[in-house]
Amino acid sequence: MNLKTKLILAIILMLGISINAQNEKTIKGVVVSVADNFPIPGVNVIVVGTTNGTTTDFDGNYEIKAKSGDVLQFSYVGYTTKTVIVGEQLTIDVSLKEDIAQLDEVVVIGYGDQKQKNVTSALTKIDSEEIQDIAVARVEDALQGRVAGLRIQTVASEAGGDPKITLRGPGSITGSSSPLIVVDGVVLGTDADILSSIDNNDIESISVLKDASSVAIYGSRGANGVIMVTLKQGVEGDTKFTYNTFTGYQFATDNKNFTFSVAEERARLDGLQSAVNSIVDPVNFARVNSRYDQAYAELAAWDYLSTLSGGEMDLQKEILPGGTITSHSFGARGGSELTKYSASVAFLEDEGIALADNFKKYNANLKIDTKSKSGKIKAGVNLRGSYNDQDRLPARFTDALRQYGAIPLYLNQDHLDIFNAYRDAGGELSAAGTLYDNLEVGSYGFSRLFDRVFFQGQDNPRGLLLDPNTGLPVINTQQGLPGQLTLGLTRNVGPLVPYLERSRIKRRFSLNASAYVDFKLAKGLNFKQTISGVFRHTKNNDADFVLGNENIVTFGDEAFRLERRDEVNQYVIESVLRYKRDFGKHNLNTILGFEFTNRDFFRQESEAFGVYSNDFNENIALADEGTTFTQNGSDKLVSYFGRIDYNYNEKYLLQVSARTDGSTRFGSNTRFGFFPALSVGWNVSNEDFLASSDVITFLKLRASYGISGSNQISNNIFDSLYRFEETYAIVSANGQTGVKNTALANSNLGWEKLVEFNPGLDITFGRRLFSLTADYYTRTSEDLILSAPVSAAYGVDTFLQNIGKVRNQGVELALSSRILSNENFSWSASGQFTLNRNEVLDLGGNEQIISRIDQESRPTEFIARLNLPITSFYGYVFDREIDIDFIDNPFNRFNNDFAEVYVKDLNGDGIIDADDRTELGSPYPDFTWGFNSNITYKNFDFAFQLQGSHGGEVRVADLDQLLFASEGAVQATALPEVERDKVIPRRFTSAHIQDASFVTLRNITIGYTVPDYLTKKLNFDRLRLYFTGNNLIYRTAKGYQGFNPEAAGQTSSNANTPLTAGYQRGDGPVVRTISAGINFQF
């Protein structure tokens, strides 16, 4: 190509560009709202089919380049999208209409629904979009940190473990404070495992009802709040299929406070040399220094044993190896104009993080709704089944972690040669007084096996006595020789054996079925008849196999077996008459209903102990201690309820509701309870003086007052708390059998009652740029059931009465913001803050209740006292440690604490006694918060959630067990008598009470959605790929030494009841997860 040609082409190209540029022009304009003609900032303005776009400024102005014939699209959250074709004009002003569907968003409430803008009570709605793209095993995991006032504690580390849920603080001293669970209008109860039976992908929305005005419609079951789950319905049109799956890896990080290796203990001992050298008293120095040398010699023994086994085990890694989690969910939704359906099946397997831990969940759901051509008759059915198969943790983590990694898991011949040489004076094989002639190569190892088989070195007292010929340790051959070393740590089996030779299996099958028919009787008048049933069967099988108890001092070589079967059968008949009409500016929505509930309970339990075989089918009759018993229970609930919702021109709002419940659970004089509620509201933003505001675009003031009740007096239906008739117990005296009264009848025993006042406001600034919901509440739980003392003349000590009172009051804030939004990028954020104060107001005339956890040799105390929370830790205030001089054996175990400590003389009388005990803290946090952020850029999405809790405390009982602080050898036996009365066992002091505050990155998700043009070519609707991490960052308070500040399990008897909350023992670490998933729709 010559130069002339090139110049001609360049001129033509430049001319074309010039012509095209001349065709483009700058379009200007203003975007306003149709409703008030006020400008709308942040409106997205784009040229359809291009990437050319802009947004309006604060005054609604925009400027964009476009050509004649281009199409401009105007879109904004809360308004319908509008398109305009560019003509010859240079100014295009646009008016957007508010999206009525969004303005009239409906929330589910008890026995009905309501426009969200007209709600006068305190409730929070969570849509499916907020939880469906999160890879979690349970519904509760997705709710954590999203609802102000709702506290969900992951209390244990086992797969499928149930969380602890409370709403606005604990409201009962002796009963449950868990909220009521309602699924598609069917009341299922308060059991913690109900939500675990629901597949997250089936959920359409969740409404959390908080105040008495919203829960009073549930009467005697609503005092602790209500969680209402609405499942997805069918849709009109072709069937749409969805497949959601994720798989991930779960793990826990080591707690460095409890890594007991030989090297770490040797380093600790080295650091104590100066403390030993500083002992002045020669007697104390001789004793302590001798123990000091012995501790080094024992380390040498453990070192030698570990070499025989191929090295030390890291017990935390062995017990908590991690595991996978996998979920599959397949759904189908579709239907015609008259009939719609939704169906799904799902499977989840969670291997947990522990050595013996697994949870499998199977779900199936079918929902069909149909109507007549006239629309006057509607009907539907809902069937939902679930099956959970759970291998529960067979032992506390601390039972294993308190032992040493040098203990061999399996014995080899070298181990056998060591203890086989040790015999008593009669020549019988013996060690620590227990015969071990049943052991062989491959048997499980345990610490007591190596008691007194090694000698402390004579020339080198910090080492082992060695054979000069072989250089190997000299092995003890008989009792009574000097210098024998004691290596026994516990009466238990080896650290891993409970996870390998014990089984705790829980299987549960649940079937929920409901059907309804709805008749339109007249304009606005409908009658709905519903019948529902719940069948729940639970089977627990516990087994300690022979090898799991082999050579235990307490049990011997005996197996244990327990089998428990529980059944709950419930049916409900519900009739509701609804009248909904608008009369000009007067809007009315009323219901009147009747409900009958019948529940039957059954338990059968058999256990056997003392069989020298794992075959219980054949040997059950040979068991030393076998018991079998059955229990039956039944209760009925008859209810009448009604509610009136009225508003004038959607400005002035009023709701009145009432319910009366009659239950067979309570005394004949108090069988019926009445639960009224009233709430009012004012949509200020609908007033003329605010309707045109562009700053405050929505403002509602509201207040509510109501009374609700609780019949959840105990988690066990067979407890006497549910019964008002006299009960007796068979006794025997002087060889004669008689009957002794154990509980007095109280025909006046009735409902626990909650009275609540809740003012609040909802406000939105700048057309949904920023929204705030604020609530203040004061809720008083009255007539709490407590045991009151009675005269000994009755033959019993106490009987149950409605005499307690507790108050919770606090503040809840929920904020949301649409920070930025345009064609390619959007960023929204939300947060919540909760402050709650719990206070005991009445204990039936008593000043306090002291509760105790008597767990083996580690008892601890709690107190409920007037004007303090329901639970406070109780005991002596730690002052200082006892000097090493006075401890019998300061080096008894790896990293051990001393059993006793100095405490403070609080009353200043110079004597340490019970009068110096005081409250040592509370397990309830000062405040909690959550923050959620969602960012999208083109087809990418990024979301994260932060959550925090601050000010709560826990008693870390793990420290007492893991640091051997209750051992007799670490007592201050050499303490002078004058000092003896100034020390107290550590477990009764504040030494193990620690700050349970935490901040965690609860969830982080990164996703990518395949572009529409590609999915259309491949003939499917949506494909999203994502990665999720849970609890990847978890920061605890300075000084916290436990595994999980949220832990509140019940691995110890009587732990974490309403009166003993905040007790941590053996519950395990925080579970962290990394997973990848797919959302597929076609």
Tell me: the pLDDT tens digits for 912-937?
999 999 999 999 999 999 999 999 99
Q: What is the pLDDT of residue 856?
A: 58
Residues 6+ apart with CB under 8 A from 146: 124, 126, 130, 832, 930, 932, 945
Q: What residues form DSSP beta bridges with 807?
A: 780, 839
Average pLDDT over all residues of the chain: 86
Quick check: 172 and 808 in contact, CB under 8 A?
A: no
CB atoms within 10 A of CB 989: 24
Q: What is the pLDDT of residue 466?
A: 92
Which of these ranges, 5-19, 119-133, 426-440, 826-840, has the smallest mean pLDDT? 5-19
Which one is predicted more confidently, 486 or 682? 682
Residue 693 has pLDDT above 60, yes or no: yes
Quick check: 368 and 1014 in contact, CB under 8 A?
A: no
Return d(Cα 546, Cα 559) in angstroms, integer.
5
| Listed residue (517, 529, 521, 536) closest to 369, CA to CA | 517
Q: What is the pLDDT of residue 550?
A: 73
Tell me: the pLDDT tens digits for 68-124?
889 998 988 778 889 999 998 899 999 998 776 555 678 888 888 888 889 999 999
1024: burial class by Cβ within 10 Å (0-12, 13-18, 19+)? Answer: middle
What are the DSSP calls for 17-44, one per residue? HHHHHHH-EEEEEEEEETTT--B-TT-E
Q: What is the pLDDT of residue 789?
A: 67
| Listed residue (776, 780, 777, 778) closest to 754, CA to CA | 780
Return d(Cα 527, Cα 520) in angstroms, integer.
7
Q: What is the pLDDT of residue 456?
A: 92
Judge whether 372 lies within some domain: no
CB atoms within 10 A of CB 256: 9
Sign of the C-alpha dihedral computed for residues 1050, 1054, 1060 and 1065 taken in this order: negative
For residue 1082, give the 3-state DSSP assignment: coil
Which one is predicted more confidently, 663 or 478? 663
- What percentage of the chain has pLDDT greater than the value 90? 51
Q: What is the pLDDT of residue 453?
A: 84
Sign of the C-alpha dihedral computed for residues 949, 953, 957 and 958 taken in this order: positive
Tell me: the pLDDT tens digits for 337-359?
999 999 999 999 999 999 888 99
Query: What is the model's pTM?
Result: 0.86
Q: What is the pLDDT of residue 857?
A: 61
Residue 622 CA from chain centroid, whole number: 42
Give the pLDDT mean for 560-566: 88
Residues 6+ apart with CB under 8 A from 728: 739, 740, 741, 742
Quick check: 1064 and 992 in contact, CB under 8 A?
A: no
Judge whether 411 lies within some domain: yes
- pLDDT tier for residue 554 given thresholds of 50, 70 and 90: low
- pLDDT tier for residue 478 given thresholds of 50, 70 and 90: low
Return d(Cα 358, Cα 733) in angstroms, integer.
49
Tell me: the pLDDT tens digits for 398-440?
888 888 999 999 999 988 888 765 555 454 554 444 456 678 8
Quick check: 981 and 912 in contact, CB under 8 A?
A: yes
Return d(Cα 58, Cα 438) in angstroms, integer.
85
Q: What is the CA radius of gyration of the chain?
A: 35
Q: What is the pLDDT of residue 738?
A: 65
Sign of the C-alpha dihedral computed for residues 401, 397, 1043 and 903 taken in this order: negative
Which of these ranges, 157-161, 716-720, 892-896, has the smallest mean pLDDT? 716-720
CATH number at residue 55: 2.60.40.1120
Which one is predicted more confidently, 722 or 36? 36
Return d(Cα 839, Cα 834) in angstroms, integer.
17
Q: Which two tokens stand for residue 477?
A: 């051959």
Q: Which two tokens stand for residue 956?
A: 């870390």
- pLDDT tier for residue 775 given thresholds of 50, 70 and 90: very high
Give the pLDDT mean for 524-548: 92
Give the pLDDT mean for 990-1000: 96
Q: H/E/C letters for each residue in 182-243?
A: EECCEEEECCCCCHHHCCHHHEEEEEEECCHHHHHHHHHHCCCCEEEEEECCCCCEEEEEEE
Return d(Cα 409, Cα 499) in angstroms, integer.
12
Residue 654 has pLDDT above 70, yes or no: yes
Return d(Cα 119, Cα 566) in angstroms, integer.
40
Last residue of a domain, one of 464, 498, 532: 498
440: burial class by Cβ within 10 Å (0-12, 13-18, 19+)? Answer: exposed
Q: Which two tokens stand for residue 910?
A: 């110079």
Q: What is the pLDDT of residue 135?
A: 81
Residue 1037 has pLDDT above 90, yes or no: yes
| Listed residue (371, 341, 347) closest to 359, CA to CA | 347
Judge whether 438 lies within some domain: yes
Return d(Cα 794, Cα 810) in angstroms, integer.
43
Return d(Cα 748, Cα 672) in angstroms, integer.
11
CB atoms within 10 A of CB 626: 16
Last residue of a domain, one of 498, 525, 555: 498
Residue 930 CA from chain centroid, whole number: 15
Q: What is the pLDDT of residue 896?
A: 86
Q: Which two tokens stand for residue 265?
A: 């203990």
Q: In what order do the strands lie in the sheet with 983-985?
A: 878-881, 900-903, 983-985
Return d(Cα 594, Cα 711) in angstroms, integer.
19
Residue 94 CA from chain centroid, whole number: 50
Quick check: 1073 and 248 in contact, CB under 8 A?
A: yes
Residues 6+ apart with CB under 8 A from 30: 39, 56, 59, 60, 61, 62, 93, 94
Sort residue 69 into left (φ over 0), alpha (ψ -120 to 50) or beta. left
Q: What is the pLDDT of residue 718?
A: 34
Task: Go through the chain and tell me how many residues it has.
Answer: 1082
| Local structure of residue 412 (DSSP, 8 states) | -
Judge whether 365 lies within some domain: no
Residue 722 has pLDDT above 50, yes or no: no
Judge whether 820 lies within some domain: no
Number of H helices, E strands in the chain: 16, 50
Total count of domains within the chain: 2
- Give me the domain span that covers residue 67: 22-101
Judge whether 195 lies within some domain: no
- pLDDT tier for residue 997 given thresholds of 50, 70 and 90: very high
Report which listed range, 108-117, 467-476, 864-873, 1041-1050, is most confident. 864-873
Judge whether 274 lies within some domain: yes
Tell me: the pLDDT tens digits for 171-218?
888 778 889 999 998 898 888 788 888 888 889 989 999 998 899 999
- pLDDT tier for residue 605 given thresholds of 50, 70 and 90: confident
Give the pLDDT mean for 128-140: 81
Sole residue written with tokens 């009012």: 680
Measured in degrees and rounded to the nearest 5, phi and psi for residue 73 equal -115, 130
Give the pLDDT mean for 236-244: 91
Give the pLDDT mean for 802-809: 91
Last residue of a domain, one of 44, 71, 101: 101
Return d(Cα 601, Cα 717) in angstroms, integer.
8
H or E segment and range at residue 616: helix 616-619
| Listed residue (216, 167, 179) closest to 679, CA to CA | 216
Give the pLDDT mean for 715-742: 52
Residue 298 has pLDDT above 80, yes or no: yes
Measured in degrees and rounded to the nearest 5, phi and psi for residue 947 equal -145, 145
For residue 740, give the 3-state DSSP assignment: strand
Return d(Cα 966, Cα 973) in angstroms, integer.
14
Q: What is the pLDDT of residue 266?
A: 93
Judge whether 1009 lies within some domain: no
Return d(Cα 832, Cα 199) in angstroms, integer.
26
Residue 975, CB-side half-sphere exposure with 13 Å CA sphere = 23
Question: Which amino acid is present at 182?
Answer: V
Return d(Cα 918, Cα 762) in angstroms, integer.
42
Residue 219 has pLDDT above 70, yes or no: yes
| Listed residue (987, 995, 930) closest to 964, CA to CA | 987
